[in-house]
Each structure stands twice: as C-alpha cells, then as structure tokens.
Amino acid sequence: MGVLDNKEPKKVFSFFEEIAAIPHGSGNVEQISNYLVDFAKKRNLKYRQDEKLNVIIWKDASTGYEKTEPVILQGHMDMVAVKTEDCSKNMEMEGLDLEVNGDMLSAKGTSLGGDDAIAVAYALAVLDSDEIKHPPIEAVFTVDEEIGLLGAEFIDVSDLKGKKLLNMDSEDEGIFTVSCAGGATVECLLSFNTEPINAKVIEIRIDGFSGGHSGSEIHKQRANANCIMGRILLNVFQNAGMRIIAINGGEKDNAIPKFCEAAIAVNPEVVDKVKDIIEKTFEEVKEEYKTTDPDASILTNVMPDNMYEALSGPATLSTIITLVNMPDGVQRMNPDVPDMVQTSLNLGILRTEKNAVKLSYSVRSSKESEKRFLIEKLRSLTEIFGGQVNVHGEYPGWEYKEDSKLRDVAVAAYKELYFKEPVVEGIHAGLECGLFAGKIKDLDAISFGPDIENIHTTNEELSILSTERTWKLLLKILEMLK
C-alpha cells in the first residue's frame, strides 16, 4: 500500500510514487530513463531512447480520434535533489520517503521533485489508459532540465509529427504560460597588468541587498551590488585617485547579486577623503533604493601601509568604466503582454582572476533579435577596452503566438470545468518550450501544471487537490482537441 492509495486520480499518484522510488536527481537519470523504456516495452508502445537518455514514447489515437493531429506531452525526468542537514539518505542511490499532510504531498527530509515528476506521471497515466479520449500521443521526457535544459537542447525531434505541445512544467494552477525568454551566459574578460604600489589599502564590502532571480524578479528594479560598487569606485577614482587590487561580487549569473567586495590602494594622505567619498556615495544609494533594498549595508576597513600588487592605472579605469556603463537590468518591456519583461540582462558574477577581471552576465529575451543585439552590445563595449567575450549556454526564446488554437482550447476547457477565466501570461525565464519551438516549425505550445510550493527545496509540497483538478483539465484539453 502506498501513501496515496486512497487519492484520486489513482493512476497519476501511483506513477508518481513509482517515480519517487527511483533516484533521479539531475545528472543521475539512467534508472528513471530505463524505467520509462520498460514502461513502453510492457505496453508494446513504440519508444526511442537516445544516448543522453531522453525518451520518447508514441501511442495511437483513441477510437474516433484517428484523424486528429498528434499532441506532444512533454516534461523532464530529473529533479533538484537536496536534503536537510540531518537527513542521512543517499539521494544518488535511494528513493524518496513520501508524506501526506492534509492536502499537501512532500518528502521526508528531502526535496519532492514534483518539478517535474508530476508531468511524467500525468503522461504515463495517459499512455497507460485504454479509456481516455485523446489524439495520437507523442510523449517526450527530457533529462537534465534543471542544470541547463540539456536534454531538450540535445534531443532529435525530427520524427515527431505533432505541432501542438503541452508542457507540464509550471507550478501554479490556473495559469497558462504562453511565452518565455531565451537566454545566454556572456562572459566579458578584461585583461590587466599589475604593478607594485606602496599604499594604504581600503577594503570595502557592500551587502544586504535584496537580490532575487534575474528572470522572475528583474522587473522589481532592485539594486545590483556589482554595479553599485562600480559607482562607488568611480567617485573615488575621479575625486581622489585609486588602484584596484581585487573586486568580487555575486554568486550566480542568473541571480541579482546581494553583495560585492573590493580592495583598493590609495595614497595614505587621502585615506580620510576616500572614506568620506565612499560613505557619501553609499548614502546616496541607500536613499535611492530605500524601498527595494532597505537592508543594504557597507563596511570599510583600512589596512596598514605596505607594498601591494595592484591593477595598472589604465586597467583600473577600464574596469570601473565598464562596470558603470555596461547595460544592466530591464532593457525593454513586451508590447504585447502587459507588465511582461521582454529583454534584460544581469551582471551576476564579478571576479578578479589571475590575469583578467571577469564580468558574467545572464542575458534574456523572448525576442531572438533583441537577444543577439544585446550580446553584440556587450561584445563591442568589452572590445573597446581590449577585452574579449565568451558566449555559452545559449538557448532560444519562445515568442508569444498571437493565433494559438491550443491556447484557445485550453482556456475554453478551463472555463468549462471551473467557470472562471484562467491567467494567460509569459515568463521572463527559460522553459524547454523555447528549445522545442526552435526545433519544430510552427509549434503551438502552452505550459501549465498544479500548485507546487517551495520547489527545489526541502520544503517542497505538491497540492493533491490541485493535482486532481489539473489532471481533469489535461483530459478535457485532449478531448476537445478532436
């Protein structure tokens, strides 16, 4: 007996339990991929497993739907596998311990992996049934979505015939996602020479900024600690003179940085003046960002006179000018979707490496041409100062489709079931839909799913009732696509 045996729909929860019993963290997907292959073999369903372990399973249409165009059901099989400090489970080798508390399903001591095991369970329940009304099904299960959409980037979909894709990788019931940003990581490298200098060193650390996700929260206009540090150093450079010894800030390119620290060399006789410039500049920042970043703070520390290796004057200047003049934040809002960011970038990581200062940007846009232009803008500005640019992890955007039969059917199905309008929106983050839209010409896609709270954490919970309602919605959409 499983923890969900008395829940409806039983098949969905039964498959969810089977998935949860298999270790399937990102990069550890061989067992779950083979489980899907075995599922297809047992039911005599056509399947394909590629060298990266993506799996596609085909099923013929139900009676009366033979002439209907195929529908692609899509989700990813990997999860973010994290556990509490006191949890002894080996998540590479062991499955999850599911728990039910009222309406909420969770896993004891670990993340649940509802993102995206619920999509896999939904698709398997459709493939397993002889009673559900549906067009021909092409079920696509990708790997390693959580570490860069790797499976969707690799998969060959040339043998798929469907032009309508139901992605089930959203975490808010009643919301249909209809577009997403494409993106890339852009690394700008400013090479430098160092020189010995006899000076006072002032260490500066700014911290406590609100930060946030550079996709979902970039529009909140929060301060970027790396950019703020550039502003402080510009004032010092212009009014007292200084050399950079080191500058480092942020942790991930897709996270708005909460902190930045710098060590600067100054003449001993201007130490007090420099400290005053730093404090006054930060006071201006605090006032400007008092609503969005109320907890921002600064610490300074003066080191003794000594010989230090510092960036040359030209290298110091080029680093500062780059920091304060490179674009950052929202670049354009979407004119077709209210309150939706179309194009943005985030200076997420700033590092002083052996021979170069590295600025790592997360660039996003739902408009491919704007994404390309923004990357070239970063490249040209970097090259002015003799630097170079590396672009990696690039994936396409999923543009809003003005004429979408699938969206119309999904909205109508939701209204028929629940007597209210669903929310139709785009997101300024990456979804696998963008990669599939780039591979399948004229693809019509939507993304939806049940309520999942605190994804990717040990507090992750999946609503059982929302899972049931979303299952009914999926069946209604499939029925109405005849």
Kindly tell me if the per-residue pLDDT of 463 is higher than 90. yes
Kindly tell me if the per-residue pLDDT of 255 is higher than 70. yes
Mind listing the pLDDT tens digit for each residue in 322-339? 999 999 999 999 887 788
What pLDDT, on the 0 to 100 scale, is given for residue 326? 96
Q: Scanning the structure block, which residue is given the tokens 């399973």? A: 57
Classified by CATH at the fold level, domain 184-395 comes out as: Alpha-Beta Plaits (3.30.70)
Span 183-208, average pLDDT: 95
Query: Comparing C-alpha atoms, which of 478, 480, 479, 482 is closest to residue 138?
Result: 478
Phi-psi region of 105 (alpha: psi -120 to 50; beta: other; left: phi over 0): beta
More confident residue, 24 or 215: 24
- Identical fold, 10-181+398-480 and 184-395: no
With contact defined as beta carbons under 8 Å apart, do 257 and 249 qualify? Answer: yes
Span 307-326, average pLDDT: 95
Pick one of 3.40.630.10, 3.30.530.20, 3.40.50.720, 3.90.25.10 as the CATH number of 10-181+398-480: 3.40.630.10
With contact defined as beta carbons under 8 Å apart, do 79 and 117 qualify? Answer: yes
What pLDDT, on the 0 to 100 scale, is given for residue 1? 45
What pLDDT, on the 0 to 100 scale, is given for residue 324? 96
Kindly tell me if the per-residue pLDDT of 220 is higher than 90. yes
Percentage of residues of the chain with pLDDT beyond 70: 99
- Structure-token pair, residue 415: 């209204």
With contact defined as beta carbons under 8 Å apart, do 55 and 45 qualify? Answer: no
| pLDDT band at residue 306 using 50, 70 and 90 as cut-offs | confident
When the pLDDT of each residue in the chain is averaged and rounded to a whole number, the result is 94
User: Domain limits of the chain?
Assistant: 10-181+398-480, 184-395
Mind listing the pLDDT tens digit for each residue in 107-150? 999 999 999 999 999 999 999 999 999 999 999 999 999 988 89
Please state, in angstroms and rounded to a whole number, the distance separating the CA atoms of residues 431 and 315: 39
More confident residue, 366 or 476: 476
Please state, in angstroms and rounded to a whole number, the distance separating the CA atoms of residues 317 and 386: 13
Helix (H, G, I), strand (E, B) or coil at 255: strand
Please state, in angstroms and rounded to a whole number, the distance separating the CA atoms of residues 76 and 398: 18
AA letter at 96 = L
Q: What is the DSSP letter of 458?
A: T
- When mean pLDDT is compared across 46-60, 205-219, 350-364, 403-417, the lowest value belongs to 205-219
Mind listing the pLDDT tens digit for each residue in 138-158? 999 999 999 888 999 999 999
Kindly tell me if the per-residue pLDDT of 386 is higher than 70. yes
Which whole-number Å values give the CA distances from 127 to 11, 36, 252, 313, 390, in the listed order? 11, 11, 39, 66, 43
Kindly tell me if the per-residue pLDDT of 6 is higher than 70. no
| pLDDT band at residue 8 using 50, 70 and 90 as cut-offs | low
Span 272-295, average pLDDT: 98
Please state, in angstroms and rounded to a whole number, the distance separating the CA atoms of residues 205 and 262: 7
The sheet carrying 98-101 orders its strands as 98-101, 104-107, 461-463, 452-453
| pLDDT band at residue 480 using 50, 70 and 90 as cut-offs | very high
Let me know if 231 is exposed, middle or buried by CB neighbors in 10 A (0-12, 13-18, 19+).
middle
What pLDDT, on the 0 to 100 scale, is given for residue 129? 95
| pLDDT band at residue 89 using 50, 70 and 90 as cut-offs | very high
| pLDDT band at residue 312 using 50, 70 and 90 as cut-offs | very high
Q: How far is C-alpha 129 from the chain's CA centre?
A: 34
What pLDDT, on the 0 to 100 scale, is given for residue 409? 97
Please state, in angstroms and rounded to a whole number, the distance separating the CA atoms of residues 204 and 310: 15
Span 84-100, average pLDDT: 95
Please state, in angstroms and rounded to a whole number, the distance separating the CA atoms of residues 377 and 328: 12
- When mean pLDDT is compared across 330-334, 352-356, 426-430, the lowest value belongs to 426-430
Span 293-308, average pLDDT: 94
